[in-house]
Amino acid sequence: MAEEAILGYLANNEVIGDSGEFAAKHGLNHDEVVNVIKSLHGFRYVEAQDIKRESWVLTDEGKLYADTGSPEAQLFLAIPPEGGIPREELQIKLGPLLFKIGCAQAAKNRWVDMGGQQVTRRVQHVDDRVKDLLLKIKEGQVVDQDDIKALKARKLIVPQTWKGYSLKKGPDYAPQRKKFAADLTREMLQSGDWKNVEFKEYNFNAKGQPIEAGHLHPLNKVRHQLRMIFLQMGFEEMPTDRYVESSFWNFDALFQPQQHPARDSHDTFYLKVPSTTKELPEDYVERVKCVHESGGYGSRGYEYDWSREEANKNLLRTHTTAVSARMLYNLAQDTLKKPFTPKRYFSIDRVFRNEAVDRTHLAEFHQIEGVICDRGLTLGDLIGVLHDFFSRLGMSKLRFKPAYNPYTEPSMEIFSYHEGFGKWVEVGNSGMFRPEMLLPMGLPEDVRVIAWGLSLERPTMILYGYNNIRDLFGHKVDLGLIKTNPICRLGL
Ligand code: PHE
């Protein structure tokens, strides 16, 4: 309505001098007219200039007198034309406030005589100018400046700033607003209409529609990238779906003595049901028992009585090296039927430890493990492959520190220089599997196995800026965060 009226009027007239008058003349609400002007101005259909006017509005008291008459007129009318009325009676008739104001004003106007016992009329007839003026102001009519001053002094009116616009045609004026097409459609292309259609400009700052889709957890995203790195380096993925392991594969096969503190229930979760494993490869178990008890292959062993019951106990695997042990055993079994082939294996999956949970520790986390099995490998090969692997993660400065694992000799902790933290941080553990582990499996004597392991959580936390592991994994994870996480790329 307002838009049509404005654009239509400007088609035949140069200017709209005053939006207020224009609104009144066309029976439009001025607020609506102002909104339309702002929009038309934004699209350059019109040029608009502010106009401000001081206008006057009635106070509550002013409104009251506009309805019922001024106090002086009311007072005058309350006095009987003949003989007058006692003061007290008049006051009761009008009420104290109206009486007080009325007396003052009526006396000033010389309408009444207050001198004697009785209040009497001095004139026969009065015009209630105050009421008339208030009604005029209410209707927005122009009133003489002296009258304004007087009404303002009596606090019957107050000033109000009125804002409006004067208008003329803008550079893009048209008698009707053009509709811009938001999309190029198949129909436009077919009919050729696209040539005449004006398109809405692209808003490159607009946010896209949120994608209604599944979202990968940061651990899954980093896991995926690590898989890709391993696959590019020619590694095969090991089957890691077995969370429940026997102590045998988790510890004994790895030449970890049965008294080792890590096997304590304070560190490892044992299963109540089923509490023991059903089967183990018996001849291999026998060789493992021997190597623990009395050694062999140039080793003295641990010289203790190895217990089969201890080996049978089921647990939640404490490291993925249990999977590596199974894989190497299978590989050794294969050499009974066909010549040995070198292998590169990797795994990324969950492990469990009976840890006190804190900012950096959970009772379950993920391990990344790489294993290379070939004839004549050396510690130099391990260092070389670690440089290759970690530089693909973006960690090219590495240092190694001698360490101890029951199943590797030599063993090395891996440190990487963290540019952000400005210090060396431990990033993994590695080593060459011991002959006491490999030879009972039946691998050829000159076959060496180099391996390393690290957690998935650590690099993910650094990459995604988490400093509490519980925000990343477990029941406190904020699913909203999973949806809004950026894509962080390893090695960039
Ligand atoms: N299993 C070791 C750990 O849990 C990691 C590791 C894997 C160490 C392979 C050496 C070789 O920390």
Atom in ligand 1 nearest the alpha carbon of residue 371: 9
The pLDDT, as a whole number, for residue 469 is: 93
The pLDDT, as a whole number, for residue 207 is: 83
Q: Which helix (H) or strand (E) holds 328?
A: helix 321-334
Atom in ligand 1 nearest the alpha carbon of residue 429: 8
For residue 396, the SS3 value is coil
Distance CA 247, CA 256 (A): 10
Instruction: Check: CB of residue 343 under 8 Å from CB of residue 447.
Output: no
For the stretch 184-240, pLDDT in tens is 999 999 999 999 888 888 888 888 887 788 889 999 999 999 999 999 999 999 999
> CB neighbours of 23 closer than 8 A, spacing ≥ 6?
2, 29, 30, 33
Residue nearest to atom 4 of ligand 1 (CA): 319
Distance CA 150, CA 76 (A): 20
Atom in ligand 1 nearest the alpha carbon of residue 320: 1
Residue nearest to atom 2 of ligand 1 (CA): 453
Cβ neighbours of 152 (radius 10 Å):
14
Please indicate whether residue 451, judged by its CB atom, sits closer than 6 Å to ligand 1: yes
What are the backbone dihedrals phi and psi of residue 398, each rounded to the nearest 5 degrees, phi first?
Answer: -120, 150
Distance CA 229, CA 223 (A): 10
If you measure from the C-alpha of residue 457 to the centroid of ligand 1, how many angstroms do you get, rounded to a whole number? 15
Cβ neighbours of 12 (radius 10 Å):
7
pTM beyond 0.85, yes or no: no
If you measure from the C-alpha of residue 353 to the centroid of ligand 1, how many angstroms do you get, rounded to a whole number? 14
Rg (CA), the chain: 47
- CA distances (Å), 87 to each of 79, 82, 95, 103, 113, in order? 10, 15, 12, 10, 11
Instruction: Check: CB of residue 42 under 8 Å from CB of residue 29.
Output: no
Distance CA 430, CA 379 (A): 10
Per-residue pLDDT of the chain (492 residues; tens, 9 = 90+): 899 999 999 999 999 999 999 999 999 999 999 999 999 998 899 999 999 988 889 999 999 999 999 999 999 999 998 888 998 899 999 999 999 999 999 989 999 988 777 889 999 899 999 999 999 998 888 888 999 999 999 999 999 888 999 999 999 999 988 888 889 999 999 999 999 888 888 888 888 887 788 889 999 999 999 999 999 999 999 999 999 999 999 999 999 999 999 999 889 999 999 999 999 999 999 999 999 999 999 999 999 999 999 999 999 999 999 999 999 999 999 999 999 999 999 999 999 999 898 998 999 999 999 999 999 999 999 999 999 999 999 888 999 999 999 999 999 999 999 888 899 999 999 999 999 999 999 999 999 999 999 999 988 988 888 889 999 998 888 988 888 888 888 876
The two tokens of residue 170 are: 């803008």
Please indicate whether residue 321, judged by its CB atom, sits closer than 6 Å to ligand 1: yes
Length of the chain in residues, anyone? 492
For residue 405, the SS3 value is strand
> CB neighbours of 224 closer than 8 A, spacing ≥ 6?
216
If you measure from the C-alpha of residue 413 to the centroid of ligand 1, how many angstroms do you get, rounded to a whole number? 10
Residue in this structure with the two tokens 């039927």, named with its chain if needed: 337
For the stretch 286-309, pLDDT in tens is 999 999 999 999 999 999 999 999
Q: In terms of Cα–Cα distance, which of 119, 109, 107 is closest to 78?
A: 119
Please indicate whether residue 429, judged by its CB atom, sits closer than 6 Å to ligand 1: yes
Atom in ligand 1 nearest the alpha carbon of residue 369: 7
Cβ neighbours of 418 (radius 10 Å):
14
Distance CA 266, CA 37 (A): 76
The two tokens of residue 136 are: 């005029």
If you measure from the C-alpha of residue 464 to the centroid of ligand 1, how many angstroms do you get, rounded to a whole number? 25
Please indicate whether residue 405, judged by its CB atom, sits closer than 6 Å to ligand 1: yes
Distance CA 230, CA 490 (A): 13
If you measure from the C-alpha of residue 445 to the centroid of ligand 1, how many angstroms do you get, rounded to a whole number? 22
The pLDDT, as a whole number, for residue 492 is: 66
Residue in this structure with the two tokens 């010289």, named with its chain if needed: 303
Please indicate whether residue 320, judged by its CB atom, sits closer than 6 Å to ligand 1: no
For the stretch 370-396, pLDDT in tens is 999 999 999 999 999 999 999 999 888
Q: In terms of Cα–Cα distance, which of 412, 298, 321 is closest to 367?
A: 321
Strand pairing of 408-418 and 46-58? unpaired
First to last CA, the chain: 59
What are the backbone dihedrals phi and psi of residue 38, each rounded to the nearest 5 degrees, phi first?
Answer: -60, -45
If you measure from the C-alpha of residue 112 to the centroid of ligand 1, how many angstroms do you get, rounded to a whole number? 112
Distance CA 144, CA 133 (A): 9
If you measure from the C-alpha of residue 350 to the centroid of ligand 1, how many angstroms do you get, rounded to a whole number? 14
Please indicate whether residue 347, judged by its CB atom, sits closer than 6 Å to ligand 1: no
If you measure from the C-alpha of residue 211 to the centroid of ligand 1, how many angstroms do you get, rounded to a whole number? 40
Question: Dihedral (C-alpha) 469, 475, 477, 480: value to the nearest 10 degrees?
Answer: 170
Please indicate whether residue 19, judged by its CB atom, sits closer than 6 Å to ligand 1: no
Residue in this structure with the two tokens 């949970």, named with its chain if needed: 357
What are the backbone dihedrals phi and psi of residue 317, each rounded to the nearest 5 degrees, phi first?
Answer: -55, 140
The pLDDT, as a whole number, for residue 128 is: 93
Atom in ligand 1 nearest the alpha carbon of residue 351: 4
Atom in ligand 1 nearest the alpha carbon of residue 433: 11
Mark 75-107 as b/e (b = at least 16 C-beta within 10 Å).
bbebbeeeebbeeeebbeebeeebbebbbebbb
The pLDDT, as a whole number, for residue 177 is: 85
- CA distances (Å), 428 to each of 203, 263, 451, 488, 490, in order? 48, 21, 11, 21, 16
Distance CA 463, CA 215 (A): 17
DSSP symbol at 299: B
Strand pairing of 343-352 and 236-237? parallel
If you measure from the C-alpha of residue 341 to the centroid of ligand 1, how many angstroms do you get, rounded to a whole number? 23
Please indicate whether residue 455, judged by its CB atom, sits closer than 6 Å to ligand 1: no
- CA distances (Å), 21 to each of 80, 296, 297, in order? 46, 109, 108
Q: Which helix (H) or strand (E) holds 8?
A: helix 2-12
